[in-house]
Chains A and B, each alone.
Chain A
Amino acid sequence: MLCEKCKKRTATVFYNENLNGKLRSFSLCGECAAKLQKRGDIQDITSMMDSFADPFSDLQEALFHGFFGIRAPKSQSAGKKCPACGTSYQEIAERARVGCPVCYKTFQDELSGLIQSVHGVGTHTGKIPSRHQAKQERKRLLQEKKKALVQAVDGENYERAAILRDEIRQLENEQEKEAN
């Protein structure tokens, strides 16, 4: 991301300042940070330890407020609201916060540029919640068995097809139960 002062160089200095209970945060390039410190525009934080916070909490607003020139096309998101929490993209951009997990689906197109600007084009790799492991496994099994069913029917192996049909029904039942 770019320095918020000169908007030219990459920001490499991030910190919070806690002045009488009011937080200010900065994302600056080294040169601008040094200049501001010299002029006393940034207070010496007596305790650098104060800023042992999340280094990117200050990045968020900058991100949403078009630091990267990425703003949702107005026509596309006008009037659209998240069915789960009622948040509009406008509100997401203003508050620099996504409303709920479902918003990610609702505003998939609006958010994708922003996500890529932070993380690049990769998709998730790593840990999966235990409930999803079961879900993903069930999904895989279901696909496998449906394929086997088609083969069994094609091969006129009706006994096997009946067994597969029962198994598929059971997996689908489980899936439904979980969805409710």
Chain B
Amino acid sequence: MSWYHLQGKCADTVISTRVRLARNIVGYPFVSKLDSAGAGEIIEKVGSTLEPSGFRKINFSDISPIMATSFVERHYVSPEFSLQESPHALLLQEQNGVAVMVCEEDHLRVQCILAGFAPEEAYQNASEIEKRLDEEFDFAYEEALGYLTQCPTNLGTGLRVSVMMFLPALSRAGSMNSLAAQLSKIGLAVRGLFGENSASAGCMYQISNQVTLGVSESETLCMMNEAISQISEKEKLARAAIVGEAQERLQDHILRSEGILRYALFLTSSELIRLLSDVRLGIALGYVKDISYEQLNTLLVEAMPATLTLSSESTPKTESARDKLRAVKVQSVLHPKG
């Protein structure tokens, strides 16, 4: 079971929560100055520390580009990591959502990704693995600056909490700009597409903390908790306002999307993202009955190009063949046989 097969808490406004801890090992230069031998040593040692506790080691130099991209689509690694040329590896424990990127931007990036809103749980999972690594390695640290990282933006706790939110009503109301400006005042950043094109990105926004130095782990988690609940509340109010204005029009729009999702024979990935977002709103408002948030999360990952291609027996040769395969995938997730 992977995070994207679940719905988690607050699935009407939150898609997933990711926590990551940046760590570096004393005795080696940071990654951009690290030679292959050093990287190899670190990968080897991290592997032997974590493999006994059920982690799978994936050496990225051994896998195909499409497999690497699929790890990006499943949110276990960053796009940069998948394209990197120097030695790098992933240690993955899928059932807990823990993914350790070795030799990405820092020697170690211990991450945990979970469905829905779960900052504490994700932090606990990541922290437990970080502790095991702490017993094995001497982490670069200095009293005033905290954990030393390749880029000063991560100094201190090295903790970044990122929450992927689903905010269709706020973005439709044109409130994202002012929301982002407010959040930046308290040290939070919003990443996503604003304005007219927001629908093309499924109205998904990533909210994360910026400051990592001078703020403890628990303070960061607390601040994120507070901010995310407030944004969720705002989004729900905005939804109520839209429903109040044009309930039938909205319902019509959503049910049309549901129809296309269920019955189309070809679907591009951008169309799919738009449909999934309409249907997610439909579930939240009670218009769509027989589709679950779990199914939407599954499709958000498994119907993306690389993961989709990997799951099929023969590689689709054309764009159109892939779009057809995507529609088949959607139907198999929405109407599982037996």
* Residues of A that sit less than 8 Å from B by CB: 10, 12-16, 18, 21, 23, 30-31, 33-34, 37-38, 44-57, 59-60, 63, 84-85, 87, 95-101, 104-105, 111, 114-115, 118-132, 136
Report yes or no: A59 in contact with B214, Cβ–Cβ below 8 A. no
Restricting to B91-145, which residues have a CB under 8 Å from any CB of A? 105, 134-135, 138-145
Chain B nearest CB: distance from A167 CB in Å? 24
Query: With A and B bound together, what is the CA distance between A84 and B30 in angstroms?
Result: 11
Chain B residues touching A, range? 35 or more
Query: With A and B bound together, what is the CA distance between A60 and B31 in angstroms?
Result: 15
Report yes or no: B210 in contact with A56, Cβ–Cβ below 8 A. yes
Interface of B (DSSP majority class): mixed
Q: For the complex, is B300 an interface residue (Cβ under 8 Å from A)?
A: yes
* Known contacts A13-B193, A56-B208, A124-B147, then 9 further A-B pairs from the complex at CB < 8 Å, ordered by chain A residue: A23-B80, A46-B270, A47-B269, A48-B202, A84-B29, A104-B148, A118-B153, A123-B145, A124-B146
Choose among B204, B212, B273 the residue that contacts A119 (Cβ–Cβ < 8 A): B212
Report yes or no: B32 in contact with A97, Cβ–Cβ below 8 A. yes
Report yes or no: B196 in contact with A34, Cβ–Cβ below 8 A. yes
CB neighbours of A47 from chain B (8 A): 73, 269-270, 273, 304
Report yes or no: B177 in contact with A124, Cβ–Cβ below 8 A. no
CB neighbours of B191 from chain A (8 A): 13-15, 51, 55
Ordered nearest first, which 10 A-B pairs have the shortest CB separation?
Answer: A122-B214, A124-B146, A34-B195, A48-B201, A12-B180, A30-B177, A126-B216, A119-B213, A101-B140, A53-B78
B152 to A, closest residue via Cβ: A115
Restricting to B190-211, which residues have a CB under 8 Å from any CB of A? 190-197, 200-202, 204, 206, 208, 210-211
Report yes or no: A16 in contact with B157, Cβ–Cβ below 8 A. no
CB neighbours of A127 from chain B (8 A): 157, 216-217
Report yes or no: B210 in contact with A130, Cβ–Cβ below 8 A. no
CB neighbours of B148 from chain A (8 A): 98, 101, 104
Q: For the complex, is B162 an interface residue (Cβ under 8 Å from A)?
A: yes
CB neighbours of A99 from chain B (8 A): 29-30, 32-33
Given contacts A47-B304, A129-B141, contact A33 B215 (CB under 8 A): no
Report yes or no: B139 in contact with A129, Cβ–Cβ below 8 A. yes
Report yes or no: B196 in contact with A119, Cβ–Cβ below 8 A. no
Given contacts A44-B270, A111-B152, contact A119 B194 (CB under 8 A): no
| Most chain B beta-carbon neighbours within 10 Å: one of A87, A118, A121 | A118
Q: For the complex, is B156 an interface residue (Cβ under 8 Å from A)?
A: yes
CB neighbours of A132 from chain B (8 A): 141, 143
CB neighbours of B154 from chain A (8 A): 56
Chain B nearest CB: distance from A136 CB in Å? 8
Query: With A and B bound together, what is the CA distance between A16 and B193 in angstroms?
Result: 11
Q: Hey, what's the 0/1 contact readout for B231-274 against A, CB within 8 Å counting as 1? A: 00000000000000000000000000000000000001110010
Report yes or no: B73 in contact with A15, Cβ–Cβ below 8 A. no
B270 to A, closest residue via Cβ: A46
B130 to A, closest residue via Cβ: A127
Query: With A and B bound together, what is the CA distance between A51 and B190 in angstroms?
Result: 12
Q: For the complex, is B155 an interface residue (Cβ under 8 Å from A)?
A: yes
CB neighbours of A38 from chain B (8 A): 195-197
Report yes or no: A13 in contact with B208, Cβ–Cβ below 8 A. no
Chain A nearest CB: distance from B158 CB in Å? 9
CB neighbours of B206 from chain A (8 A): 51-52, 55
CB neighbours of A53 from chain B (8 A): 78-80
10 contacts between A and B (CB under 8 A): A12-B183, A12-B184, A47-B270, A49-B304, A56-B210, A97-B151, A98-B151, A126-B146, A130-B134, A131-B139
Choose among B78, B145, B195, B204 the residue that contacts A124 (Cβ–Cβ < 8 A): B145
Choose among A48, A111, A129, A131 the residue that contacts B193 (Cβ–Cβ < 8 A): A48
Q: For the complex, is B285 an interface residue (Cβ under 8 Å from A)?
A: no
B149 to A, closest residue via Cβ: A98
Query: With A and B bound together, what is the CA distance between A68 and B284 in angstroms?
Result: 43
Chain A nearest CB: distance from B33 CB in Å? 5
A15 to B, closest residue via Cβ: B191
Chain A nearest CB: distance from B222 CB in Å? 12
B140 to A, closest residue via Cβ: A101
Q: For the complex, is B280 an interface residue (Cβ under 8 Å from A)?
A: no
Query: With A and B bound together, what is the CA distance between A128 and B213 in angstroms?
Result: 13
Query: With A and B bound together, what is the CA distance between A33 and B18 in angstroms?
Result: 25
CB neighbours of A120 from chain B (8 A): 211, 213-214
Q: For the complex, is B321 an interface residue (Cβ under 8 Å from A)?
A: no
Choose among B139, B211, B218 the residue that contacts A118 (Cβ–Cβ < 8 A): B211
Report yes or no: B215 in contact with A122, Cβ–Cβ below 8 A. yes
Choose among A48, A52, A98 the residue that contacts B150 (Cβ–Cβ < 8 A): A98
Q: For the complex, is B164 an interface residue (Cβ under 8 Å from A)?
A: yes
